[in-house]
């Protein structure tokens, strides 16, 4: 290990637990800065009681119980104290204590949350780290000195229940970020500010795409423009899937507990399901995913190897019982629709099907200008169904599928679904934030649970393999990400309103209506603004609505059978014949993956 990083190797994560040395170093940097923040808080609030302070993606946080609510001014003071600690270059001192010593130390300092943590740690010893007068229960790893953590910023304050339970005390959580260089910090802070401006909840409300209501929590209401956006994504995908051998099905939303017991969801996923009971006391569940229903469809008749691959796609509503506090706009909901499919194949067809799927993912995300990488998730030792040899075979086959396509990937140990390993596609948006969207999950287990079989070439019975796959993920979450990726300025083919016709005066309203009708006949999505208002106000409103094209008509345009074109990207483009403009917009709107 580099001398710049240290840990108690009996407790801590090490470099081999991370995809790259850079990610390990970031983990150490963020973990260390959370300790520096806690040390600064202790200077200001000597009676502070500390919970946990882990590194997270792009930053860190620390949960703590304080004598009063924090204010933005407090963050400024905490930052000043942190900079003093950083400037002093204090060394992180690691010690291994027996539990009795740890309980005595943290008990004497009234750190009741730390006492609870100590009692939950297996073994007879625990690891601590100290910087100056501040000592924390911690396994590491850390950087060597506080001076390595100088490019930081505290970003926000939030509330958080201790250990995530509403039955526990509410603590105050301070979030921060830290980066190896000043430029990286400034870029991240710029992106945070831009993310606030692009927040899909705000932009969605301003563009009248969707709404939410307290009487239907976790289920967005799609307004007309948002519904157009939703349907456009659905239809583009349907065309792509139809050209690639998929058959669309539509299964029931409600299933008996017997269905979900057979699939394993009753044992592994019941707490996330909405359960209902009929008048006879029988339990039913709203389906949280489509796979159990698709197993029934495959098993509904005798199948031959000649039918494989059998690709069943579905876009029906799904329901998951997310906690109320976790709901967030479109990105965390209770009702949603997935771009979902289950592909029934022979084991020999796995490599070819993985190649087809990564090809589809490439076509889609290249179209959106979103770079991506792949992660292979392996078996969770505590939560899996089936035989380990089958799991190991499935993991090897997915890895071979990626390698056969020359694709680099990282491994996420223990992140697989309970029925099989998976390849997740980590997509980067325009603000360089990563989102897990596409997924390819290889399943040897559910076909066995449902006793599925097909007649092979030797006229005997074989068990199919299933690939669970999604390209967008859920439509709701994908649209939320797209709203922020484009800041609401969607490309023409996706924009709910592709063009807006603006009349300059009442004298040109009739011609404006004619232009509008021509665009409608050309299958374009268009609106007409014939209000008795100044043209400048109409242009400003269209700009706020992020409409790709404004077609302005006055007396000159009406006489010449033309329109004055104003595009979102280029501004005023001058007048052009109406037929030419229609042809241009139609050509730009004619998009398929």
Catalytic residues: 291, 320, 338, 340, 342, 422, 468
Find how far residue 26's CA is from the centre of its chain.
21
Q: If you search the block for the tokens 């409103």, which residue do you land on?
A: 541
Contact 260, 291 (CB under 8 A): no
What sign results for the dihedral spanned by CA atoms 397, 399, 400, 405? positive
Find how far residue 284's CA is from the centre of its chain.
29
By three-state DSSP, how is residue 41 classified?
Answer: helix
With the CA atoms of 397, 398, 399 and 405 taken in that order, what torsion angle do they form, in degrees rounded to the nearest 10? 110
The answer, yes or no, to whether the previous bond of 88 is cis (omega within 30 of 0) is no
CA distance 332 to 336: 9
CA-based end-to-end distance of the chain: 47
Identify which of 140, 503, 199, 233 has the alpha carbon closest to the alpha carbon of residue 329: 199
The answer, yes or no, to whether the previous bond of 501 is cis (omega within 30 of 0) is no
Find how far residue 591's CA is from the centre of its chain.
25
CA distance 318 to 316: 7
By three-state DSSP, how is residue 95 classified?
Answer: strand
Structure tokens at 357: 């799927």
């Amino acid at each position: 290990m580099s001398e710049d990083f240290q840990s108690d190797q009996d407790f801590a994560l090490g470099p081999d637990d991370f995809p790259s040395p850079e990610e390990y170093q970031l983990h150490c940097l963020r973990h260390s800065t959370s300790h520096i923040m806690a040390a600064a808080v202790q200077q200001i609030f000597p009676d502070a009681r500390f919970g946990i302070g882990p590194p997270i993606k792009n930053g860190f946080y620390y949960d703590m119980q304080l004598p009063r609510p924090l204010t933005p001014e407090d963050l400024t003071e905490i930052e000043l104290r942190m900079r003093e600690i950083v400037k002093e270059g204090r060394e992180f001192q690691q010690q291994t204590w027996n539990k009795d010593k740890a309980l005595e130390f943290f008990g004497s300092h009234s750190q009741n949350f730390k006492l609870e943590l100590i009692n939950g740690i297996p073994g007879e010893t625990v690891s601590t780290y100290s910087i100056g007068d501040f000592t924390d229960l911690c396994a590491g790893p850390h950087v060597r000195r506080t001076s390595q953590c100088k490019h930081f910023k505290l970003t926000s304050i939030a509330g958080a229940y201790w250990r995530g339970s509403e039955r526990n005390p509410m603590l105050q959580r301070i979030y921060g970020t830290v980066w190896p260089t000043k430029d990286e910090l400034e870029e991240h802070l710029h992106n945070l500010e831009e993310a606030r401006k692009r927040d899909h909840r705000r932009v969605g409300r301003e563009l009248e795409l969707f709404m939410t209501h307290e009487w239907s929590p976790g289920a967005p209401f799609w307004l007309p423009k948002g519904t157009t956006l939703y349907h456009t994504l659905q239809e583009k995908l349907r065309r792509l899937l139809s050209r690639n051998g998929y058959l669309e099905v539509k299964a029931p939303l409600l299933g008996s507990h017997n269905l979900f017991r057979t699939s394993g969801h009753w044992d592994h996923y019941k707490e996330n399901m909405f359960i209902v009971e009929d008048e006879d006391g029988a339990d039913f569940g709203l389906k949280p995913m489509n796979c159990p229903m698709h197993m029934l469809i495959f098993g509904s008749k005798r199948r031959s190897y000649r039918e494989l691959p059998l690709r069943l796609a579905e876009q029906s509503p799904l329901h998951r019982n997310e906690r109320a506090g976790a709901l967030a706009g479109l990105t965390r909901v209770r009702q949603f629709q997935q771009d979902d499919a289950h592909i029934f194949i022979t084991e020999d067809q796995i490599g070819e099907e993985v190649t087809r799927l990564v090809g589809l993912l490439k076509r889609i995300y290249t179209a959106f200008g979103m770079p991506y990488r792949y992660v292979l998730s392996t078996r969770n030792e505590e939560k899996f169904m089936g035989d380990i040899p089958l799991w190991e075979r499935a993991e090897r086959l997915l890895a071979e599928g990626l390698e056969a396509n020359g694709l680099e990937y990282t491994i996420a140990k223990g992140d697989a679904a309970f029925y099989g390993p998976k390849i997740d596609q980590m997509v980067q948006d325009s603000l360089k934030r990563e989102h897990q969207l596409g997924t390819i999950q290889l399943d040897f287990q559910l076909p066995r649970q449902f006793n599925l079989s097909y007649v092979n070439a030797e006229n005997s019975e074989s068990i199919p393999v299933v690939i669970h796959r999604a390209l967008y993920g859920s439509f709701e979450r994908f649209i939320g990400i797209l709203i922020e990726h484009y800041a609401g300025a969607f490309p023409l083919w996706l924009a709910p309103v592709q063009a807006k016709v603006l009349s300059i005066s009442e004298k040109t309203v009739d011609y404006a209506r004619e232009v509008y009708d021509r665009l409608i006949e050309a299958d374009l999505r268009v609106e007409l603004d014939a209000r008795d208002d100044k043209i400048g106000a109409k242009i400003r409103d269209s700009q706020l609505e992020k409409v790709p094209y404004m077609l302005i008509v006055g007396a000159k345009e009406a006489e010449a059978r033309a329109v004055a074109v104003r595009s979102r990207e280029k501004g005023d483009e001058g007048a052009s014949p109406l037929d030419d403009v229609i042809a241009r917009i139609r050509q730009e709107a004619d998009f398929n993956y």
